Chains A and B, each alone.
Chain A
């Protein structure tokens, strides 16, 4: 039987900080022991809390849209390969992410295979939607927002309080 695992996806900066706080809140080791924690992270965003993690370039360059257009196709191939390999090697039923855009492709694959997707929209949004938030509100089974004002922006959002 394949090892049970959860795929966590997080970026750098605030996305990483939120994931650290989420993992502390979930207390997986005590509350869901025996499930391996696998991370898919932007470069430099891997966490020691993960049993293993893979780092990839960010999907979107923060300073240049042009750069994003050039690097995105290669990254799509790399991430797709990695996700299919993980799904083959492990029994992964759940994906949990605090963003950013890097989560969208794995989520589409998870959706096709009918896996659970949990997304927590970033804590820095109050009146505007993030790119990953817009996409993930369509894909996620549970779409949490940390600020009440976002309940008006997404029809399926659930208020979670702030990490």
Chain B
């Protein structure tokens, strides 16, 4: 399997360290943060790309931090994903999104990195629900407020 790992802009060394040293046949590519301390030695990595969706599309499994931008985009692309919340963030709100995705079975969620290996092995046999959401529908209301404010 091809696995792509994305952590966004906040370093997530625990995750990268664990996966880089995993005894596996899988091919792994990492997107790591600029302020990382650990650099992968066993698999390919990069810090920035203009086209992350290319990596999403060519991977069988995407493992992502619980950043909303990454998670929503992946689910919009109908990718089956494993979310690993990054707990070092001082605000800790990555759990909020992760819990929602877990409770609704929109994604696999791993809160204990040690269990990630097993979750990858069970990946294809784990059932998930199709992600559905209401698209933003208040644009006309906001435009009306603007027009009224400027008398146009």
**Chain A positions near chain B (C-beta within 8 angstroms):** 4, 6, 12-14, 17, 21-22, 25-27, 31-32, 34-35, 61-65, 91, 93-94, 96, 115-116, 118, 122-128, 130, 141-142, 144, 146-147, 149, 158, 160-163
Shortest CB–CB separation between residue A126 and chain B, in angstroms?
A: 4
Residues of A within 8 A of B9 (CB): 12-13
When distances are taken between beta carbons in the complex, the residues of chain B under 8 Å from A25 are: 136, 139
Q: Which of A14, A31, A130, A146 contacts B67 (CB 8 A)?
A: A14
Q: How far is the CB of B47 from chain A (nearest CB, A)?
A: 15
Residues of B within 8 A of A12 (CB): 9
List chain A residues, Cβ under 8 A from B94: 124
Known A-B contacts A123-B72, A124-B68; A130 and B145 likewise in contact (beta carbons under 8 Å): no
Is residue B44 within 8 Å, beta carbon to beta carbon, of the partner chain?
no
Q: If A123-B68, A160-B138 touch, does A32 touch B146 (CB 8 Å cutoff)?
A: yes
Flag whether B93 is at the interface (Cβ < 8 A): yes
B99 at the interface (CB under 8 A from A): yes
Would you give the shortest CB distance from A118 to chain B, in whole angstroms?
6
Q: Nearest 5 CB-CB pairs, A to B? A: A161-B134, A124-B68, A93-B149, A160-B138, A17-B69
Which single member of A118, A141, A161 contacts B133 (CB below 8 Å)? A161
User: In the bound complex, do residue B8 and residue A31 qualify as a contact, i.e. CB atoms below 8 Å apart?
Assistant: no
Q: Which residues of B contact A64 (CB under 8 A)?
A: 90
Q: Which of A127, A144, A146, A160 contacts B99 (CB 8 A)?
A: A127
Beta-carbon contact of A118 and B150 below 8 Å: no
Chain A residue with the shortest CB-CB distance to B67: A14
User: What's the A-B contact tally at a CB cutoff of 8 Å?
Assistant: 99
The 8 Å CB contact of A96, one of B68, B97, B142, is B142
Q: Which residues from chain A contact B96 at a C-beta distance below 8 Å?
A: 124-128
User: Is the beta-carbon distance between B150 and A146 smaller than 8 angstroms?
Assistant: no
Known: A13-B8, A142-B142, A146-B136. A124 touches B93 (CB 8 A): yes
A32-B146, A124-B67, A144-B138 given; 14 more Cβ-contact pairs under 8 Å: A13-B67, A25-B136, A31-B143, A32-B143, A32-B147, A63-B90, A91-B150, A93-B150, A94-B145, A130-B93, A141-B145, A147-B100, A160-B137, A163-B136
A162 pairs with B135, CB closer than 8 A: yes
Measured CA separation A27–B9 after assembly (Å): 28
Q: Please tell me if B59 contacts chain A, counting CB pairs below 8 Å.
A: no
CA distance A96 to B142 in the complex (A): 9
Closest chain A CB from B34 CB (angstroms): 11
Are B69 and A13 closer than 8 Å at their CB atoms? yes
Q: Indicate if the CB atoms of B142 and A26 lie closer than 8 Å.
A: yes
Task: List 21 A–B pairs whose Cβ atoms lie within 8 Å, in order of A's numbering.
Answer: A12-B9, A13-B67, A13-B69, A14-B69, A21-B136, A26-B143, A31-B143, A32-B147, A35-B146, A65-B90, A93-B149, A124-B67, A124-B68, A125-B93, A126-B100, A142-B142, A149-B100, A160-B137, A162-B72, A162-B135, A163-B136
